[in-house]
Structure 1
Amino acid sequence: MVRLIQEGVLMSSSSSSTTSNNNDSDDSLSPSASTKSFVLNTLRPPITGAYKPLAVLSAHVGSVSSLALCGEFLLSASQGKDIIVWQQPDLKIFAKFGQGDGSVKALVSVGSKVFTAHQDSRIRVWKVSRRNSENAFRLVDTLPTTKDYLGKFMKQSNYVQTRRNHKRLWIEHADSISCLAVHAGIIYSGSWDKTLKVWRLSDLKCLESIKAHDDAINGLVAGDGRVYSASADGKIKIWGKEKRKQIESTSSSSLHVLKATLEGRAEVSVNSVVVSGDGNWVYGGGSDGFVMGWEKREKGEDLEEWRLGFETRGHNMAVLCMCVVGEMVCSGSADKSIGLWRREASGILCKFGVIHGHEGPVKCLQASPNNVGAGFMLYSGGLDKSLRVWWVPKHDNLEEKKSSFKTLLMQKG
């Protein structure tokens, strides 16, 4: 069901860095704060502007867990085991697929394929065909593939001990797959089993399995030759691919090596991670509602040096998801709100507004890379089983925002 809703007003954030840190100054710094740089009280106050709630899409039987753009389609996955394809721009249901394959935790789209990660620890591969809606998304494979499995199951050295005291092939995840990322012909999968696996898109072969963290992996992002993993162990780790000449004598399991470990607040799970367009800042969202940012200082041959540039309370409850669009960052929270952040010239994030509307925690966000008027389309999925569509302006000036959206409506009319 598609329900159009009226214009909303962007509320000034009462949990901005300046306000929140006056109230929480005693516990905002970690024990090692003296060695870190915190910029918490110098950010300009949030400004009031306008956003536009455009629609509420209510068709899932479970909470919306993941979103992805696939050409002219918007895909939404549910923990109710269904995936819905929405036709843009009218956002009517084009197709449904994946029913009965288990709770869907994550999905990504690349080329003519869609990859979905499931609670049953498998990745399913779907071929996209736009000829008709009945068979538009067809299941073509499951990872690990049968060929990959048969090539390894006879050799005892290919088995690893899992935390449930069972042996599995190293190409298999032993628990729910929580996140996926794709970059440069590679798809990465992170799991509650604490491992990061690397798959080649061309033949769907598993190339590596990395014991990445001491707790569940909650988020992944990949780009510019790096993959960033966020974990419940409170760390974000940066993995890079070594040059071929450095690994000629080693096994394939050492292709990706640890480049840096970013540590945030003690005993706080990092639920999401995003990276700035220039790759010099990494931002993470914590289970305590804080948003953190790390700045790259030096790049060495083996390890990169990063420093914690800031941490500020962004939400009243856990940050569950984040996305980047240009110089803006959006954060979704268990407090049912979406935070809007502007990236300053220094790289520090300044929170300038909050979107309200969801009736449950905001679990996933997806921003369109294309400008619509002087703003962009933001899609959010929540535990209230709804998918919501927003138009968010990119400019600070309120009159410019109103004018931009009026122009957008006239163009659609």
Structure 2
Amino acid sequence: MKVRSWLSTCSSATCITTSGGCATTPSTKPFHSDTSSDVQSLSSSSQETSSSSLQSNLSLLTLPSVPSLQKLSPENLNLSIDTHFLTTLKHCRPVHINFMAVNNNLLYAVSGNGINVFEIINNTLVDTFSGDDISSGAVKSVSFCNGKIFTAHQDCKIRVWKLTIHKKHKLITTLPTLEDRFRKFILPQNYVKVRRHKKKLWIEHHDAVSGLAVYGNSVLSISWDKSLKIWRGSDFRCTESIAAHNDSINAVVVSNDGIIYTGSADKRIKVWGRTQSPEKKIHLIATLEKHKSAVNALALNSAGNILFSGSCDRSILVWEREDSANYMVVTGALRGHSRAILCLITVNDFLFSGSADQTVRIWQRRIDGLYCCLTVVDGHQKPVKSMVAAVAADGGDCGGCVKVFSGSFDGEIKVWQVEVSGVTSSLS
């Protein structure tokens, strides 16, 4: 397999100061350029991928060894970062990687309507499930709650699985459950109008379920039907449904204190919390409006007080919660990607961003308040759609060693080992 130059240093690293920084702080205004080209490029990339031919090989494909990234200047960044390419995981079907998640040393890689499960220690395939149910449509997200695996599907449903002792996945139920439907279907007030002359139970999504998140014993689902729903992880019942946005919802994250953030194609990010009443219903705290096009990805730092949002406008905005206030302000904008931002994850002190420009960028907030692009990881041939990280087998901590998996529209997952040494500052 021919691979382009897989790594390049960020020769024009973008540094943005936070509020209170130097007087040369750039505007946090996103790019004004027309983003229609980004949308068109994504569509064309998807079509090219679907028509391409990949090898029917589920085993490891080890590429030739490559040199590690040249260390950055410690005088400027007080750290050194090495990114080593490890291997490539390939799927048997020429469809792009929709989503990835890691749980109990297993990598769940969503490809079309199937989920391939790999051991992250030796990168071997251990199971493939949900692929035979064509009617379920593409899988959009995977999450984990109470030892169960939850998968979001294009057919408007959420499926719940359990992992057997042989590392096989068995379907438990589909949400909403038949019991939940039976409780609601009689009373007319349990129905909501979804289209002209068509109604659905409020516990049902009526468009693709685009994402999942877990907080405590609850599972949150978002959908292209513009709604946010809360499901109880114990009995799988839907407890709340909120008409959250004016357009499709693309991303959801939850902080450790239960604050929910949703990002939508309506260019807005909405912040949700629970009331102090005994019912503790979800209510709107704030609406964040700075992006100029659809919000595709959200990520929180470990402390939960800094939110990163990526959009089709090619920018990553940094939002900070001030003390205990129920609102957030923009304190920075990270620019450098040439196309839409498709995925974001935080790893220890670092932010990883994947883009339709086929690259992954690694960012860090320095002690002086600057956000800098430390390096550009260039190894994919199509847009980078999903990323996930796991602590490497030999251990590690902040400033240690982690494995980062990046999946793209070319149907491949690339595995990187990121090592950091020196004095680092925290994104929190």
TM-score normalized by the length of structure 1: 0.81
**How far apart in 1 are the matches of 2:222 and 2:382?**
25
SS of residue in 1 equivalent to 2:322? strand
Partner of 1:117: 152
Q: Does 1:128 align with 2:126?
A: no
Contact 1:262-1:294 within 8 A present in 2 as well: no
1-structure distance, mates of 2:27, 2:322: 28
Alignment of 1:4-403 (within 5 A): 9-12=7-10, 14=12, 16-17=14-15, 28=29, 49-61=81-93, 62-79=95-112, 81-99=113-131, 100=133, 101-129=136-164, 131-133=165-167, 136-163=168-195, 165-224=197-256, 225-243=258-276, 246-248=277-279, 255-266=281-292, 268-300=293-325, 304-345=326-367, 349-369=371-391, 372=395, 374-395=400-421
CA gap of 1:231–1:164, structure 2 versus 1, over 3 A, is farther
TM-score scaled by length of structure 2: 0.78
**Structure 1 residues 30 and 296, CA, compared in 2 at 3 Å: closer, same or farther?**
farther
Q: Distance in 2 between matches of 1:344 and 1:187?
A: 35
Q: What's the offset of the Cα at 1:132? A: 2.0
Stretches (4+) displaced over 6 A: 44-48
User: Helix, strand or coil for the counterpart of 1:173?
Assistant: coil
1:274 counterpart letter in structure 2: A
**CA contact under 8 A between 1:175 and 1:192: conserved in structure 2?**
yes
CA RMSD in angstroms, aligned pairs only = 2.8
Amino acid at match of 1:342: Q
Residues 185 and 27 of structure 1: is their aligned pair in 2 closer, same or farther, counting only changes over 3 Å?
Answer: closer
Hey, what does 1:36 align to over in structure 2? none
Deviations along 1:165-189, one digit per CA (max 9) or x if unpaired, are 5211111111111111011111001
User: Can you list the C-alpha shifts for 1:129-185, whole angstroms capped at 9, x where unaligned?
Assistant: 1x225xx10000000011101110111111111146521111111111111101111
Q: Which amino acid aligns with 2:14?
A: S
State the match for 1:22 in structure 2: none
CA–CA distance in structure 1, aligned partners of residues 329 and 8 of structure 2: 32
Q: 1:269 deviation in Å?
A: 1.0
CA shift, 1:48, in A, is 8.3
CA–CA distance in structure 1, aligned partners of residues 321 and 27 of structure 2:
27
Looking at structure 1, the residues matched to 98 and 166 of structure 2 have their Cα atoms a distance apart, in angstroms, of: 26
Report how many aligned residue pairs link the two structures.
Answer: 362
- Asked if 2 retains the 8 angstrom alpha-carbon contact of 1:293 and 1:348, the reply is no
Name the CA distance, whole Å, in 1 between partners of 2:196 and 2:358.
Answer: 35
Contact 2:100–2:108 at 8 Å: present in 1 too? Answer: yes
Instruction: Indicate the residue corresponding to 2:62 in structure 1.
Output: none
Give the C-alpha shift of residue 103 in structure 1: 0.6
Contact 1:122/1:177 (CA < 8 Å) preserved in 2? yes
One-letter code aligned to 2:332: F
Higher relative contact order (CA 8 A, sep 6+): 2
Does the residue aligned with 2:372 lie in a helix, a strand or coil? strand
Distance 1:65 1:396 in 2: 35
Q: Per the alignment, in what secondary structure is the counterpart of residue 345 of structure 2?
A: strand
Percent identical across equivalent pairs? 34
**TM-superposed deviation, 1:50:** 3.1
* Residues 1:56 and 1:30: Cα distance change in structure 2 (over 3 Å): closer
Query: Contact 1:13 / 1:351 at 8 angstroms: preserved in 2?
Result: no
Secondary structure at the aligned position of 2:189 is classed as helix
